[in-house]
């Protein structure tokens, strides 16, 4: 493609070092869509005849079918998907194919292809996140009233319900969707027509091209349009954060499935065994999700590092944006699908949850609140309950069986009324609190959403 300037062929090692066809081939449907829109604008401007455009369009669609069917032979010498398609087109239809690149650079071509790919990937991932939210809602609905301990510092804190716990992850995933939807607005701007960096003296109708490709508008600075990879960084950040949320869910489930907790059991289809220990049932999906989150974080850092010191406009460093992007999209796609299956098939062990929730220490804070309602300042109430807990531990008497009146006169016989999980949860009616009524209302809201 640049043989006019060079008298020596590119070294084999340089070709291997610089090729991207081994991974950017997946941009082919977007490259072909962009080329057809570009060719249509060429025809409208008089650069192509209707017959030439027809040949280009039909030739590109044939190539698309060949690639999709696995019948297309990619060439490393042609470096990337753009030149592979253009070369094949010219061989297929002749001189008309050689006109396609008029008023276009690979710089604005790859920027356009990547934006189209990202837009499609965002739409797909949004749907997959919704499926996972739906699976979580199913578990939450089934266990809206199943009480078990909520934890801080991995120590039992206060009573909540399993449904409330699952809804926390629905909330996290909702924010991930909002971030992707917001990023999509910045993705969906067309850079095609920006040329190598300064547009072209052959002015095609950029707005018409953008409209045909489903973009919301066109970029307004050709130099920024060519060098911008902010939208990829935004996507990689959001996928990394979503991975962090899936990793937290995975850690919860790993704990819940342990014999020490016993709150949940994963299906045989979503666990593995041991080659040595026949009794093992390992939560490998959760562990892999937790581990693959590191890949998502690494891909983000890789891109940020690649773009941090680049002068305007295009530099070959920007070729390093594709593999992290593709890998994160693939990793997140599979993670969402397998976690959705796993959550839908898992079983909550209600008896184990209720046994853990029967610990009266979970209601220590409720006891302090009872004192507050009796007119005791909270800090004093906190200290009094702390003394009661210490006495319970020392005397090896459960807190709900302890004679609280012997701890301090501030306690009366009525204080023991707080030791009811049903009453404790029912009292938590503030927005966001885990009363069963609140949980059911939130489930209904999310179903509607």
Catalytic residues: 153, 274
| 130: CB partners within 8 A, 6+ apart | 177
Q: Please give the backbone phi and psi of residue 264, each rounded to the nearest 5 degrees, phi first.
A: -145, 160
Q: Which of 50, 74, 52, 53 is nearest to 63 (CA)?
A: 74
Task: Tell me how crowded residue 322 is: count the other CB atoms within 10 A of its CB.
Answer: 21
Please name every residue paired with 161 in a beta bridge, in sequence order, or none if there are none: 147
Q: 103, 204 in Cβ contact below 8 A?
A: yes
Pair of tokens at residue 449: 């959403």
Structure tokens at 207: 């707005």
- The C-alpha torsion from 304 through 310 and 312 to 313, rounded to 10°, is -70
User: Residue 329 and residue 325: Cα distance in Å, rounded?
Assistant: 6
The string of DSSP codes covering 377-434 is -HHHHHHHHHHHHHHHHHHT--GGGS-GGGT-TT--GGGGGG--HHHHHHT--STT--
């Amino acid at each position: 493609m640049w043989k006019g300037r060079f008298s020596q062929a590119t070294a084999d090692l340089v070709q291997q070092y610089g090729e991207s066809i081994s991974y950017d081939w997946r941009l082919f449907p977007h490259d072909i869509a962009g080329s057809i829109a570009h060719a249509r604008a060429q025809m409208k401007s008089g650069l192509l005849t209707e017959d030439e455009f027809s040949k280009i369009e039909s030739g590109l669609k044939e190539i698309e079918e060949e690639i999709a069917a696995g019948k297309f032979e990619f060439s490393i010498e042609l470096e990337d998907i753009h030149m592979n398609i253009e070369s094949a087109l010219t061989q297929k239809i002749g001189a008309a194919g050689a006109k396609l690149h008029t008023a276009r650079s690979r710089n604005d071509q790859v920027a356009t292809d990547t934006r189209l790919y990202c837009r499609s990937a965002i739409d797909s991932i949004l749907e997959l996140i919704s499926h996972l939210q739906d699976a979580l809602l199913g578990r939450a609905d089934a266990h809206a009233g199943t009480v078990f301990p909520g934890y801080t510092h991995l120590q039992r804190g206060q009573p909540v319900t399993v449904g409330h716990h699952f809804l926390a992850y629905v909330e996290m995933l909702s924010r991930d969707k909002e971030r992707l939807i917001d990023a999509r607005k910045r993705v969906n701007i067309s850079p095609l027509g920006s040329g190598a960096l300064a547009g072209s003296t052959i002015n095609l109708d950029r707005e018409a091209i953008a409209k045909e490709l489903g973009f919301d508008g066109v970029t307004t600075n050709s130099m920024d349009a060519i060098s911008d990879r902010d939208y990829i960084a935004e996507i990689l950040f959001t996928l990394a954060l979503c991975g962090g949320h899936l990793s937290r869910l995975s850690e919860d489930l790993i704990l819940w499935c342990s014999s020490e907790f016993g709150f949940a059991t994963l299906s045989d289809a979503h666990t593995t065994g041991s080659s040595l220990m026949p009794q093992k049932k390992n939560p490998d999906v959760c562990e892999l999700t937790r581990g693959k989150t590191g890949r998502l974080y690494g891909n983000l850092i890789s891109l940020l590092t690649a773009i941090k010191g680049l002068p305007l406009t295009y530099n070959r460093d920007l070729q390093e944006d594709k593999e992290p992007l593709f890998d994160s999209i693939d990793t997140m796609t599979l993670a969402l699908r397998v976690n959705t299956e796993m959550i839908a098939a898992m079983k909550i062990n209600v008896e184990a949850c209720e046994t853990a929730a029967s610990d009266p220490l979970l209601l220590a804070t409720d006891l302090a609140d009872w004192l507050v309602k009796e007119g005791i300042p909270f800090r004093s109430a906190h200290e009094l309950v702390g003394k009661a807990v210490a006495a319970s531990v020392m005397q090896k008497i459960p807190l709900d069986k302890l004679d609280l009146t012997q701890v301090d006169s501030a306690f009366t016989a009525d204080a023991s009324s707080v030791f009811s999980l049903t009453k404790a949860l029912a009292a938590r009616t503030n927005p966001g609190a885990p009363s069963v009524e609140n949980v059911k209302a939130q489930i209904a809201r999310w179903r509607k959403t």
